[in-house]
């Protein structure tokens, strides 16, 4: 492993389990993960300048500017690369322009870092079903994700209470059915995996239609195949 760190890019629609898997890797493997969506929500709740700028965009399920999100990722990566073994980018890059900006950033600042791109394949119907039962901890420092969907194995121990920090669990404003459909359209329009392949970067596939514990064991096998 070059430079000590591997960056895993998680590509997949909302509800594909990538955020839950990222949280699990942070807890169990001592990796670090950046969810650009969670970072955006933190800016909004703290009413920063960026937060005020992006509030309405997030509520509508549209994407924020490529340059803005890349500068957030750049700042965060500068504190992580070389210090931890596994670094997950969850939900970035999400457009072809972001792929180009990320390649520039890695080429300029971290030419030796090992990059693996993991795509979570899942049907739109399963996404809609999963997100309709998704709950998120309202503590912005936590944002742990749970599910009330039977069989998902992600229910909180106490109804609407976060297992980790005792925060209140609620649905996300952008998990309303009509916004979910828009977010899926946006995801399919911008899916960056083809561009990664065109640029010679292989894309590894996880079957995300499966229950979470199977996704987890498939991912463990994937990382061992390094």
Closest approach, Cβ 1 to ligand AMP, in A, equals: 26
Nearer to ligand AMP, 61 or 167 (CB): 61
Q: Select from 94, 119, 130, 134 the one that contacts ligand AMP (CB under 6 A).
A: 94
| 183 touches ligand AMP by CB under 6 A | yes
Please identify the residue of the shown chain whose CB is closest to the bound ligand AMP: 37
End-to-end CA distance of the chain: 9
Closest approach of ligand AMP to the CB of residue 14, in Å: 4
Closest CA relative to residue 143, chosen from 216, 225, 45, 13: 45
Residue pair 34/141 in contact (Cβ under 8 Å)? The answer is no
Residue closer to ligand AMP by CB (options 23, 36) is 36
Return the structure tokens found at 210: 């499966």
# chain residues binding ligand AMP, by CB under 6 A: 18
For position 57 contacting ligand AMP by CB under 6 A, the verdict is: yes
Surface-to-core class of residue 200, CB atoms within 10 Å of its CB (0-12 exposed, 13-18 middle, 19+ buried): exposed
91 binds ligand AMP (CB under 6 A): yes
- In sequence order, the β-bridge partners of residue 170 are 136
Measured from the CB atom, the residue of 1 and 185 that comes closer to ligand AMP is 185
* Contacts (Cβ under 8 Å, ≥6 apart) of 3: 81, 82, 110, 112, 113, 114
Distance CA 179, CA 23 (A): 24
How far is 98 from 103, CA to CA, in rounded Å? 8
What span, in angstroms and rounded, lies between the C-alpha atoms of 148 and 158?
12
CB of 185 to ligand AMP, least distance (A): 12
Applying CB under 6 A, does 69 fall inside the site for ligand AMP?
A: yes
Residue 96 vs 163, nearer CB to ligand AMP:
96
Q: How far is the CB of 99 from ligand AMP (least distance, A)?
A: 10
What pairs with residue 33 in β-bridges?
88
Chain residues in the site for ligand AMP (CB under 6 A):
14, 35-37, 40, 57-58, 61-64, 69, 91-92, 94, 98, 174, 183
């Amino acid at each position: 492993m070059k430079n000590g760190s591997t960056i895993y890019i998680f590509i997949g629609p909302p509800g594909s389990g990538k955020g839950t898997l990222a949280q699990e890797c942070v807890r169990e493997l001592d990796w670090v993960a950046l969810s650009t969506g969670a970072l955006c929500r933190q800016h909004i709740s703290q009413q920063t300048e960026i937060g005020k700028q992006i509030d309405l965009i997030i509520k509508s399920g549209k994407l924020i500017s490529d340059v803005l999100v890349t500068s957030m990722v750049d700042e965060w990566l500068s504190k992580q690369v070389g210090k931890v073994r596994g670094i997950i980018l969850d939900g970035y890059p999400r457009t072809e322009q972001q792929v180009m900006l990320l390649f520039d950033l890695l080429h300029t600042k971290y030419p030796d870092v090992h990059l693996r791109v993991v795509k979570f394949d899942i049907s739109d119907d399963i996404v809609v079903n999963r997100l309709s039962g998704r709950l998120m901890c309202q503590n912005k420092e936590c944002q742990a994700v749970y599910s009330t969907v039977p069989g998902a194995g992600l229910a909180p121990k106490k109804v609407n209470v976060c297992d980790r920090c005792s925060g209140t669990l609620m649905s996300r404003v952008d998990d309303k059915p009509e916004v979910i459909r828009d977010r899926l359209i946006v995801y399919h329009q911008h899916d960056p995996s083809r561009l990664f392949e065109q640029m010679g970067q292989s894309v590894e596939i996880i079957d995300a239609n499966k229950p979470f514990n199977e996704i987890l064991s498939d991912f463990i096998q994937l990382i061992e195949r390094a």
